[in-house]
A and B are shown apart, each in its own frame.
Chain A
Amino acid sequence: MGETIADILLILGGFMALSGALGVLRLPDFYSRLHPAGTADTLAQLLVISGLVLHLWIDPNGSYLAMGKLLAISMLLFVTTPAATHAISRAAYISGLRPWTGDSATDDDNQLADSESPLPDEGGG
């Protein structure tokens, strides 16, 4: 019973990780790519580490040290992943990257493609 619940949690977390990466790969804009990167990864690590902790909790030989380390990893990622996503979005907005509006005439002017220069150095915005 408990093993089944832990396996379901693990596979659900793996599915969330895969769908988050698919969103990062397929969405059309940088600001829309921030959304799967920030939310799906947080849920995926929560589900995967909950499954591992549940496996350890059921196992009579499971060590409490490994459980504590897993909870430390979960709390660390739970704080740092949204903070890193916020820092990336803030840096991109300050440097003048405009959001995608679906209008190709205005979108092509604001691409900030790094094939021209290695660093986005224009003072727009």
Chain B
Amino acid sequence: MNIDGHLIAALLVLTGAILSMIRAASGPTSYDRVLAVNVFGTKAVMLLAIIGFIGDRSGFLDIAILYGLVNFIATVALLRFVETKRLT
């Protein structure tokens, strides 16, 4: 019954995630790719929360928290790799 609003929001966020992945595939510089992957990660967190509500599984919220944390750490690590060319 309350699937409708969730489903429309999930489809909109999914379309946004696909568009940001197009930018990540065709960005001219590597900073464009890092930015697009960061945007995709934020949209993936939103999508995980909405899908957890549609399927009535509260375990998806834990996955969403984990994805948000890993997304931030991955962005900082990728920037460090691009700047200094090594990860240590």
Contacts and interface: CB of A to CB of B under 8 A. Distances in A.
Interface of A: 3, 6-8, 10-11, 13-15, 17-22, 24-25, 30, 33-34, 37, 41, 44-45, 48-49, 51-52, 55, 63, 65-66, 69-70, 72-73, 76-77, 80-81, 83-85, 87-88, 91-92, 94-95, 97, 111-114, 118-121
Q: Which 9 A-B pairs have the closest CB atoms?
A: A7-B5, A14-B12, A21-B16, A14-B9, A10-B9, A21-B19, A80-B72, A69-B61, A17-B16
Contact of B10 (A14, A41, A113, A120): A14
Interface in B1-49: 2, 4-6, 8-13, 15-17, 19-20, 22-23, 28-32, 34-36, 38-39, 42-43, 45-46, 49
A49 B45 CA distance: 10
B8 A10 contact: yes
Nearest to A81: B42
Given A24-B36, A48-B50, A18 B15 contact: yes
Contacts of A14: 8-13, 16
26 contacts: A7-B5, A11-B5, A11-B8, A11-B12, A14-B16, A17-B13, A22-B16, A24-B23, A24-B39, A25-B22, A25-B23, A30-B35, A33-B32, A34-B35, A45-B45, A48-B50, A51-B5, A51-B9, A65-B58, A72-B65, A80-B68, A88-B79, A95-B31, A97-B29, A113-B28, A120-B30
Contacts of A30: 28-29, 31-32, 35
A73 B12 contact: no
B87 interface: no
A112 B29 contact: yes
Contacts of A8: 5
